[in-house]
Amino acid sequence: MVVDTLLPTTPLKTQDYCLYYRQGSCKACVSLCPTRALTMEYLDKKKCYNQLLKTYENYSELGLCEACGKCATGPCALSIPKGVTSNK
């Protein structure tokens, strides 16, 4: 589909959405990581990517992906969750 219309721009975020960095709570992204490659200190990119390669071996018809994305789907992935007001 081709659309010939002006679309409004999405404003850049001005605050960090992460509840851990805002309030020292949550850590949903760490608990969602199936390989435990993500910790509060760092992301072990090699461990993460090796898991993606193993997944590709079983599901090659889907193509190789660069990330599983489970760490990016927590409650604060797209916005500050409702009811959260303070900033650490």
Extents of the domains making up the chain: 19-72
Point out the least confidently predicted range of 20-24, 29-33, 39-43, 71-75. 71-75
Q: Token digits for 5?
A: 């219309």
What is the arithmetic mean of pLDDT over 40-60? 90
Nearest to 48 by CA among 57, 40, 39: 39
The residue type found at 2 is V
Using one digit for the tens of pLDDT, what is the confidence trace for 1-20?
A: 888 999 899 888 777 788 88
Question: What pTM, to 2 d.p., does this model score?
Answer: 0.62
